[in-house]
Amino acid sequence: MKRRILLVDDELAILLTLKAILEMNGFEVDTAASAREAAQKLSAGIFDMVITDMSMESETSGYEVIRAARSQAYNPATAILTAFPSLGGRWKNEGAESLLVKPMNTNDLLRQIEALLVTHQDSKQKNFKQELANQASGLRAAEVIAAKDGARKLG
């Protein structure tokens, strides 16, 4: 199954070029030209990854896209694509997992996307296992409480 990427950029030339590169390398790519359009597509579909330009409707529109992606139950990997790498650490605080700097060599871009997808999937699996362990622990605690209540009622 092809991995789905939502690519968000208001510059049509960049959007179409990256879409073509990603599709030639086995990804299914949907595009959005604004943060608003991206939020709608994130709600309507399921994506493995979201790559968004930072500066679109405003200088920080990319953060809106990242927040919209983070609000989805399916939890896609997130990356900000920017020509201005001087964002400091704010991009991490806003929930992005990677910063991709334009212009970028195609092989480097693909390598970074693959690495992010693997890391993100590993993190999702670890969180899922932890959640299952927490639920199991909660069930055991509830069983102990129920057993004590039952013993009190009998005694």
CA 81, chain centre distance (Å) = 14
**4-122: in CATH 3.40.50.2300:** yes
Span 32-89, pLDDT tens digits: 999 999 999 999 999 999 999 988 998 889 999 999 999 999 999 999 988 777 666 7
Helices (H), 28-105: 35-44, 61-70, 90-93
Q: Is the pTM of this model over 0.85?
A: no
Cβ distance 78 to 69 under 8 Å? yes
Distance CA(89)–CA(106), nearest Å, equals 25
Q: Where are the domains of the chain?
A: 4-122
Q: How far apart are CA 82 and CA 63, in angstroms?
A: 12
Structure tokens at 86: 């001087």
Q: What is the CA radius of gyration of the chain?
A: 21
| Cβ partners under 8 Å of residue 23, min gap 6 | 29
**Gap between the Cα atoms of 78 and 120, Å rounded:** 9
In this structure, the strands spanning 28-32 and 49-53 are unpaired
Which pLDDT tens digit goes with each residue over 91-129? 788 888 888 887 778 888 888 888 888 888 877 777 666
Q: What whole-number distance in Å separates Cα of residue 27 and Cα of residue 51? A: 13
pLDDT in tens, 7-30: 999 999 999 999 999 999 999 999
